[in-house]
A and B are shown apart, each in its own frame.
Chain A
């Protein structure tokens, strides 16, 4: 853990972020001037409009690609997909040789491994600027560009005293007022349930199931907390919470320990129709400027990005066996 200077949280890191913010204007002006960058930019311009498949919040992703266009004059078409559909599409494109996607941003590690085994992704070492990203942040074919730690969320009108730990979820006070994510919706939500079971025991999930109601997806779940339909919810996604708070929704949020992060990774397609655009876009996303847009008020994996927050400590349960655990979770929660 200590060998990885990027993870971890605390006052010192916060100060570093603050320093980064102060330095940022200077940094922004110095990034693109290298000679090999000029070659890449020229090649990318020749290739034309690129294509990005992403599971990321569309508002944020739009800000990233519009700045990219401003800077390099290259337009990026964004297709937003949930993980299941993303896998289907990439497989279909790869198998048929009708490749559309140049770059992919996804949170599903298992999906990435399966597709990488088919040779769909090219090594990320081709991305200029990768050096800033530590070993723990990359695999051969992917690099983490955002941490999305799961949070505990509540309606501040209904919950007067801010909760402190995940255990507050099963407080009898919130019986009938509790909302939680259905573990069947995907790998990361199910991992959160596994973390809860491993940390607090099976009784925790049983009570969660008895006291609460399952939500079919994070965004609709958070909308119900904002409206007061339910009082307390887990696990929340910080970016969505920030969006609601900005609109004065009565919402509170903390990151109890331990938590997990649904990390967004960038990968380049082997058969990308526009390989130079792919590398240039990935380069931009990895740059401090790209990170500042992508992780505004969120969590960047590198330090010194203005406007980002210090990362809470993260646990990393085994995601490879998660599929087999879902039926057990479903039965503990009493969902069938």
Chain B
């Protein structure tokens, strides 16, 4: 006890103003995240025994174990696909002459830029076993070979379909983190490997990727975390595939009336525990600072020459880009021009009616664009700044602050968005806050959801900034604050930008919490899209998603353009 207290005092004694600032900020963030959840738990405490009872019953009946098994299959399968595909694409695009340049950089994000629900419906339009456009094409090809089948060959409404589409949706999380890490790696090792006669594949597997192992693990972990929270894919495909996963299961608990809030909160608490275990495992597996970083030496422009592998690598990337972005967007574009979704595509029937509806007739749309994009930018900026200051700053100090920041920022990671929405609704509606129906309550809820994503990106960025530079700065007489703003932050910009983009896209299209918190006076894109899914039609939803895709892609392209320039300058 006394030893602990002494240790604590010792720790506080070593606190300079910058450290004090970090600590205060951490406490504020922790309170901000914990307060709504604790309030929600306290408000539902009376229902806790009934909630526990419901969970026990659900376990006994086998319903909940089935949901957990489904979740495990979908999330691990999806994360595996995403980690492999995302890393290879990042390697080709960042470290080799097989790069597709700016297009290559923008397009891996495409499955994310197409808003949730609509993107999945885009896939359903292509791969519906009976009327899917791609399946139709496959059948014609097979027919030419003398093989006749009535349906398929691909069934998107199946377990495999669900896992694959989940995987596609997780690729951007992996890609952005790995690409940012690769950009920071000293290419001398790659060159040494190529010069000693290793093939590009061997170089990638034995030299380049191991050098960014922390980023790979961080990326895989992020894929798992995002996979657990993913809602749009399982709600659209999972029902038909009879694969209920935990996010949909919890959504159903809150979506009925009276909502089973206590049960939902208990299951959510269990999910938070799982994520914390994952993060602990990551730290245990990968002690910090045992990997390559941006050193003070070496150029950053040398690319691995792929030689005869260059064309196949580019082709692979192009095929990936085509299948993940061009095709579903194409499918959505066709349907957005139809009066109703039909596989009989006839140009004479094409109409702009759906675009006119979502842009001009559907009252909330235009306001929703302004609100959502503004909130997306504000949330992304705030979340990335907070995460950057806490995690990069904590790196300067090592030890406890860093660990605490990691734990705190990851707290909301697997809380389903429905839970965050409910907690913020319950907490911030009554006096003294009275934030109900305001844009501010959306911002706060979005910020809570965004922090884990910003934190993963910031952690990866922090890991890539070598200690030699910060020490050099300190030896040269700069204080921690100055070292932070003048040395660490500029070096971490590419990694932080990746986080900004993820958060921006995520927030601009967020669906579930927006359904609870957004309204006639603060309409947001995600809510309008859900309305079109529940009350409207696929063509209207498709038209809306084409517009959203165009706007978010343009925003992200602008961001990437400036990031590239910034990172080339540094």
Q: Which residues of A are in contact with B by a Cβ distance under 8 Å?
A: 51, 57-58, 62, 77-89, 92-93, 95-98, 100, 108, 110-111, 114, 176, 182, 184, 186, 213-217, 219-220, 223-224, 226-230, 243-244, 247-249, 323, 327, 330, 334-336
Contact = CB atoms under 8 A, between A and B. Distances in A.
Given A96-B431, A186-B256, A223-B341, A77 B534 contact: no
A228 B535 contact: no
Nearest to B129: A229
B81 interface: no
A220 B529 CA distance: 13
Nearest to B58: A327
A92 B435 CA distance: 11
B339 A248 contact: yes
Q: Which 6 A-B pairs have the closest CB atoms?
A: A84-B255, A87-B257, A96-B430, A247-B339, A216-B239, A96-B429
B520 A79 contact: yes
Contacts of A223: 340-341, 537-538
B240 to A, nearest CB: 5
Contacts of A95: 429-430
Contacts of A57: 535
Nearest to B132: A229
Contacts of A229: 128, 130-131
18 contacts: A82-B515, A85-B515, A88-B257, A92-B426, A93-B429, A96-B429, A98-B437, A100-B437, A111-B257, A114-B258, A217-B533, A219-B534, A219-B536, A223-B340, A230-B130, A247-B340, A327-B63, A336-B63
Contact of A217 (B252, B340, B534): B534
A87 B516 CA distance: 10
B436 interface: yes
B343 A58 contact: no
Contact of B533 (A88, A220, A243): A220
Interface string B539-559: 000000000000000000000
B140 interface: no
Given A226-B342, A227-B343, A219 B533 contact: yes
B425 interface: yes
Contact of B255 (A82, A98, A215, A243): A82
Contact of B340 (A86, A88, A176, A244): A244
B311 to A, nearest CB: 38
B254 interface: yes
Interface of B: 61-63, 66, 121, 128, 130-131, 151, 157, 235-236, 239-240, 242, 244, 252, 254-259, 339-343, 362-363, 422, 425-426, 429-431, 434, 436-437, 515-516, 519-521, 531, 533-538
Given A84-B256, A184-B252, A228-B131, 12 more contacts: A51-B520, A62-B363, A86-B257, A92-B429, A92-B436, A97-B430, A98-B429, A176-B151, A219-B533, A223-B538, A227-B128, A335-B242
Contacts of A79: 519-520
Nearest to A86: B257
Contacts of B151: 176
B436 A98 contact: yes
A100 B436 contact: yes
Given A98-B429, A230-B130, A244-B340, A77 B63 contact: no
Q: Secondary structure of the B side of the interface?
A: loop
Contacts of B240: 213-216
A88 B536 CA distance: 23
A336 B244 contact: yes
A323 B256 contact: yes
B383 to A, nearest CB: 25
Most A Cβ at <10 Å: residue of B426, B436, B520, B531: B520
Contact of A243 (B63, B426, B537): B537
A247 B521 CA distance: 32
Contacts of A78: 363, 520
Contacts of B254: 84, 88
Contacts of A334: 242
Contacts of A51: 520
A120 B130 CA distance: 48
Most B Cβ at <10 Å: residue of A95, A247, A335: A247
A247 B338 CA distance: 10
Nearest to B125: A227
Contacts of B536: 58, 219
A214 to B, nearest CB: 5
B556 to A, nearest CB: 28
Given A89-B516, A227-B343, A110 B257 contact: yes
Contacts of A220: 121, 236, 533, 538
Given A62-B363, A100-B437, A100-B519, A92 B256 contact: no
Contacts of A62: 363
Given A83-B257, A84-B259, A114-B257, A216 B236 contact: yes
A53 to B, nearest CB: 9
B535 A84 contact: no
A258 to B, nearest CB: 25
A170 to B, nearest CB: 18
A96 B131 contact: no
Given A77-B520, A83-B257, A100-B436, A182 B431 contact: no
Contacts of A215: 239-240
Contacts of A248: 339-340
Most A Cβ at <10 Å: residue of B339, B534, B535: B535
B534 A85 contact: no
A219 B537 contact: yes
A186 to B, nearest CB: 7
A215 B343 CA distance: 19
A97 B256 contact: no
A97 B430 CA distance: 7
A327 B57 CA distance: 11
A249 B422 contact: no
A89 B518 CA distance: 10
Nearest to A179: B240
A268 B219 CA distance: 51
A16 B34 CA distance: 62
Contacts of B258: 87, 114
A171 to B, nearest CB: 18
A114 B258 CA distance: 8
A95 B244 CA distance: 33
A336 B62 contact: yes
Contacts of A85: 255, 515-516
Contacts of B121: 220
A86 B534 CA distance: 14
A7 to B, nearest CB: 27
A327 B60 CA distance: 13
A86 B516 CA distance: 8
A108 B534 contact: no
A281 to B, nearest CB: 15
A93 B428 CA distance: 11
Most B Cβ at <10 Å: residue of A92, A97, A182, A249: A92
Contacts of B425: 88-89, 92
A323 B258 CA distance: 10
B531 A80 contact: yes
Contacts of A219: 533-537
Contacts of B516: 85, 88-89
Nearest to A84: B255
Given A58-B531, A96-B434, A214-B240, A228 B343 contact: yes
B541 to A, nearest CB: 9
Given A108-B257, A114-B257, A216 B429 contact: no
Contacts of A224: 128, 341
Contacts of B244: 335-336
